[in-house]
Structure 1
């Protein structure tokens, strides 16, 4: 995945933020919250996640330069992280990805971070901007669309869960996990190939 189209960037960001897979997590964590406040909390948490990912999108290249990291190492690391996240989607833990409960109204953690803006999402935006920084406005637009999709899906989480049912939701989750696995392997192989090429010309 040396280059990404606008559409593929949106799809990738939706996959790594995983709004459909987050439905049962959000329902469980917001069960104790007043139903009138749930949608506002979801919008707030999605907005926080958007701001965090936007920060890494805008300042990610400076962070990489400061830490002397190349897009090759980032591609390999991002591929590994995406692969691990994809495995959790294909083989979900019965208690959720992080296996803990939050009492009271959640704020920032764990809904915005790491359920939406997790390591895989951060690695993805860093990878996009490090490979093609001249397309910054496209990546911002793609991130905005992906976050809007998350907000809509999670805002109607209970209705979607009731309509689809647990089995169908789990099937979609695993299907997205399989797609993300293929993307992760492609990123990993591309990073390894570029690393070998650099060694050969070093």
Structure 2
């Protein structure tokens, strides 16, 4: 399954799921003063970007060291995305698809990892870089744009929640989960097709 810049951007945005992070972000940062809340959010987004950026460049070496094929990574990434998507669709209000408990001041965990730079995001950037390494600058641009949107969404969490309301945010997250389900199934089918056509 080859991607363009736009499709990679949309896929990364769906995987990062900034709207789904709103209730978690709000509950975690509720007791933090607003000026510090902004700095902490920017820091966590920066850490998540650094983690995914490193995985993007180390993806090829990681696959070689672990003796993993692109086909297995594509199927595994699709399965992970499918699990996250199902939790997004059927999860109850305020429940994290990652099982994160709110109430602690974030530093790397849980906002940067695994909320943003989670297993699904890591698998996605690994897959993009390994499948089409010649377009690495497109993937860097797509990751940067997706992280900027995610960071902006987190910074404006309170305003977005007040404007849209909890029910609309929840409905949008479930819609994103539905789209992500289709992408996950497509990734699994593409990996299986490449396996059976290309062989071992």
Question: What TM-score bracket applies, with the shorter chain setting the length?
Answer: over 0.9
1:23 and 2:53 matched? no
Match of 1:82 in 2: 81
TM-score by length of 2: 0.96
How far off its partner does 1:198 sit?
2.6
How far off its partner does 1:194 sit?
1.0
Structure 2, gaps ≥5 residues long: none
1:159 and 2:175 matched? no
Distance 1:130 1:99, change over 3 A: closer
Please list every run of at least 4 consecutive aligned residues from structure 1 whose deviation after the TM superposition is greater than 6 angstroms.
none
TM-score by length of 1: 0.95
How far off its partner does 1:97 sit?
2.5
Match of 2:118 in 1: 118
How far apart, in 2, do the equivalents of 1:32 and 1:105 lie? Answer: 9
How far off its partner does 1:34 sit?
1.4
How far apart, in 1, do the equivalents of 2:103 and 2:21 lie? Answer: 18
Match of 1:174 in 2: 174
Over residues 67-107 of structure 1, what are the superposed CA-to-partner deviations in whole Å (9 max), with x where a residue is unaligned? Answer: 11111000000010000010011011453234443544210
Match of 1:64 in 2: 63
Match of 1:144 in 2: 144
Over residues 22-70 of structure 1, what are the superposed CA-to-partner deviations in whole Å (9 max), with x where a residue is unaligned? Answer: 0111000111211221111110000000000000001111111111111
What is the RMSD of the two structures over their aligned residues, measured on CA atoms? 1.2
- Paired residue total: 199
Structure 1, gaps ≥5 residues long: none
